[in-house]
Amino acid sequence: MRRRRWLAGILAAITMAAGGGALAQGAPPGLDAWTGNYRFEWHGGRSAGGSGIAVTYELRVSARTCRLDITGFQTDEHILCEIGADPNTLWVRFRSYADGKLTNRYNVARFRPGQELFQLKRDGGGVPLTAWGALSPEPGPTPPAIRFKRV
């Protein structure tokens, strides 16, 4: 298991150094409609101490890279993504953490490479609907809703 994680980390580092992996060989069809920066601010109420619980999700999509930064209340994660796209849907999948590892800073593997974190879907309007996958700040199943907005 350690050897497989070690190899995956080495491959992720080589891929990043080569210019972003699968995206470097050619952007997915339909990606042009999704290129840009998106933000979602999640407000989870108040902590036991009374402070506000807020987490910001920053998604950056370009032809060569996809990065998701999640920061805020007890949160500081930086994820490199793989994406698939068509004009109406953007699929955001886990590749690795920004350091090339498949585990977070606590050595926990929350996601598998290629696992879908979420989708952004256009409903005919300009603001996409977010359909959560493996990554969701909200407990339990939630219907697609407007969350990420282009900034």
Q: What digits encode the pLDDT tens for the residues 19-48?
A: 343 433 456 677 888 999 999 999 888 777
Q: Is the pLDDT of residue 5 over 80?
A: no
Distance of alpha carbon 28 from alpha carbon 123, whole angstroms: 20
Please enumerate in sequence order all residues whose Cβ is within 8 A of that of 124, keeping only pairs 6 or more positions apart, or say none.
none
Q: What is the mean pLDDT of residues 114-138?
A: 90
pLDDT in tens, 71-110: 998 899 999 999 999 889 999 999 999 999 999 999 999 9
Compute the C-alpha angle 11/68/36, nearest 5°: 110
pLDDT at position 17:
38
Task: Name 108's Cβ contacts closer than 8 Å, sequence gap at least 6.
Answer: none
Segment 7-23 shows an average pLDDT of: 41
Q: How many CB atoms lie within 10 A of CB 50?
A: 6
Asked if residue 122 lies in contact with residue 128, where contact means CB atoms within 8 angstroms, the answer is yes
**Cα 73 from Cα 89, distance rounded (Å):** 29
Predicted local distance difference test score (pLDDT) of residue 28: 67
